[in-house]
Amino acid sequence: MRRVLGIVAVSVILLVLLAIAVLVGGDSATFVPPPESVSEGFTRQLAAHRFSEAIPYLTEDLAGRTGAGRLRSEWEAFERSAGRAQDVQGEPGMRSDRSATASALVTTSRERRRFSFDLAREKGLWKIARFSFASAG
């Protein structure tokens, strides 16, 4: 039993040291989903028609200007022209310390469309600062 407790204690100490190293070293990627993951998650919420759940992926400023109703109307317009989303894949773009770009490739029964996103760091997390449902390629 002492051996198990010793292993647990050492594991906890190592995790704490890792967390301190990440925070002190300014590592902004170890515990933060990358921009392409954020763009994919946002788009998957839209594809599942969970428009209110998509709002937290947006910066506070954009969320304040974009409601679930607007997301619904714009996404439904996309679906009328392209069909219902069958698959969503996030794709990386450019990234710096404070801003990034990413895209989400949406496959429907009729086409594949790439949506572009500009992201910004907000409270340590990547958030979507601008999006467009227009095709980017």
Give the model's pLDDT for residue 55: 98
Closest of 129, 87, 136 to residue 115, by C-alpha? 136
> What is the 3-state secondary structure of the chain?
CHHHHHHHHHHHHHHHHHHHHHHHHCCCCCCCCCHHHHHHHHHHHHHCCCHHHHHHHECHHHHHHCCHHHHHHHHHHHHHHHCCEEEEEEEEEEECCCEEEEEEEEEECCCEEEEEEEEEEECCEEEEEEEECCCCC
Q: What is the per-residue pLDDT across 74-116, written as a single tens digit (0 to 9) for each? A: 999 999 999 999 999 999 999 999 999 999 999 999 999 999 9
Residues shown for the chain? 137
Give the model's pLDDT for residue 133: 74
Domain 32-132 in CATH 3.40.50.11030? The answer is: no
Does the predicted model carry a pTM greater than 0.85? no
Q: What is the per-residue pLDDT across 31-55, written as a single tens digit (0 to 9) for each? A: 799 999 999 999 999 999 999 999 9
Structural tokens at position 48 = 């599942």
